Structure 1
Amino acid sequence: MVVRQETRPDTGAAGSPSEFRSAVASMQAARLRPEVLCEELPAPQRIAPYAAAVSADVTVDDTDLGTGRLILLHDPAGNDAWDGTFRCVAYARADIETDLITDPMLADVGWTWLTDALAGHGASYSAISGTVTRVATESFGGMADEDGTAQIEIRASWTPVAVGDGPLDVGPHVEAWGELLCTAVGLPPVPDGVAVMPSRRGQRGTTR
């Protein structure tokens, strides 16, 4: 995975802190399911001094079923709202069956997909927050013959926490985000003991 890094104009990529470069390297080492096409994404430059970002589409039989992005922010000075110097910001959107849109438990279930994925991949975190949104679309007039659609959108942010005395490993957080995307589109989980093959990376003309 090639992850685009962004820094403030007066720092330059070569001047980014070693802990940020190490965290980005761990993002690149993450292993995602083959249904997940992951590529670099221009990172925001005004939220934090340093940032790296990726986007992904979940594709099955040449059909895109879901999409998302993950941004890693770093502020060496720390951020009280983050409770740390790093922050993961994630987004996931997936098509769902229209009859699920009225399920009162859908939002709770969607949030559980994220927290279960983080726990399942051993991604330690703190200060998590976010929203789960249900979107239903109905067509009228000249488009009345088109079927209605429904989507679920999950937006979340959390502070990744290093395990032990080692450097921050963002790989488990990226893998949890990838699992969230796959769960949201309805893909069955990978059975225990089955190795996850690397996903296709950067196949849509990304800029390096």
Structure 2
Amino acid sequence: MNIHSPIDLPGGFDATRRCILDHLWRDEFTVTQIPAPTRIAPDSMAVDATVHHVLAGQRGLHSDPGDPEDLGQGRLIVLHDPFAPESWQGSTRLVTVVRADVDPEMATDPLLAGVACSWLTDALDGFAARYTCLAGTVTSVVSRPFGNLADQQPENRIEFRASWTPLIDDAGQLTAHLDGWQDLLCHICGLPPSGDDVVMIRPRRRWEADA
């Protein structure tokens, strides 16, 4: 049983929530708040991001069903426990899952697992986001239909899962981790690093929240 004194950031989890809701995202991103798990930590929040291939003249139209193809999807969960579980080594934990279609060469690359960790560490380091207790896995999915399914398209997909503890003194420092997560998605989805085009988080429709 954890009996040490609670550790909390100035403003508590409300400040963390505001930091996430006010974050600016790339224009290729559609970001929505989604229900977060409630049994892992006393406080939690989750967002889902769909990454689009946006053509010139079509920026900022992510709510239109006729948008260009989706390149990938990511989910980020922010967990907060003021009693700082020993395995976290901190009071806040970030958990992500990213899925994206890739070319066959990447999906079958035997070095994929070995370099996957660097995708996240390079992204976080690029924004000077300090962290500890990094853990994760990368899974490659290669599907080749045959027989009566031969008319279906083959699949080459990767699934990246990771979690880490941000070393932050106030909620505002979480911004660097959000930017790093954004660049991680861009890397996996084949987009260039962050630029100047950003959008605000899109409010979630009632039917989306209840799904």
Same fold (TM over 0.5): yes
Residue of structure 1 in register with 2:134 after alignment: 128
Question: Secondary structure of 1:189's match?
Answer: coil
Distance in 2, Cα, partners of 1:199 & 1:167: 18
Structure 2 residue 179 is the aligned partner of structure 1 residue 175: yes
Change (3 A) 1:48 1:203: closer
- Structure 1 segments of 4 or more deviating over 3 A? 202-208
Identical aligned residues as a percent: 41
Report the TM-score, using the length of structure 2 for normalisation. 0.80
Structure 1 residue 207, shift from structure 2 partner = 4.1
Q: Which residue of 2 aligns with 1:11?
A: none
Q: Does 1:65 align with 2:67?
A: no
Structure 1 position 25, deviation (Å) = 1.4
Partner of 1:198: 199
Q: Which amino acid is the alignment partner of residue 104 of structure 2?
A: T
Structure 1 residue aligned with 2:16, among 11, 23, 26? 23
Indicate how the Cα distance of structure 1 residues 112 and 143 shifts in structure 2: closer, same or farther if over 3 A, else same.
Answer: same
Corresponding residue number in structure 2 for 1:155: 161
What are the residue-to-residue correspondences of 1:96-107 with 2, within 5 Å?
96-107=102-113
Aligned to 2:190: 186
What secondary structure, in the 3-state scheme, does the structure 2 residue paired with 1:198 have? Answer: strand
1:162 positional shift: 1.2
- Kept in 2, the 8 Å contact 1:37–1:202? The answer is no
After TM superposition, give the deviation of residue 204 of structure 1 in Å.
5.8
Contact 2:78–2:95 (Cα < 8 Å) also in 1: yes
SS in structure 2 at match of 1:187 = coil
Residue 84 of structure 2 aligns to a residue in which SS? Answer: strand
Displacement of 1:47: 0.5
The CA distance in 2 between the partners of 1:168 and 1:161, in whole Å, is 12
Whether contact under 8 Å (1:138, 1:149) holds in the other structure is yes
Given residue 202 of structure 1, which amino acid in structure 2 is its aligned partner? P
Q: Retained in 1: the 8 A contact 2:51–2:72?
A: yes
Alignment length, in residue pairs?
187
Query: What SS does the aligned partner of 2:18 have?
Result: helix
Return the alpha-carbon distance in structure 2 between the equivalents of residues 49 and 189 of structure 1. 34
Unaligned runs of 5+ in 2: 1-9, 55-67
Could you list the runs of 5+ residues in structure 1 that have no partner in the other structure?
1-16
2:73 matched to 1:80?
Answer: no
Q: 1:52 to 1:130 in 2, by over 3 A?
A: same
Alpha-carbon distance, 1:181 to partner: 1.0
Distance 2:106 2:120 in 1: 18
> Would the alpha carbon gap of residues 167 and 31 (structure 1) be closer, same or farther in structure 2, given more than 3 Å must change?
closer
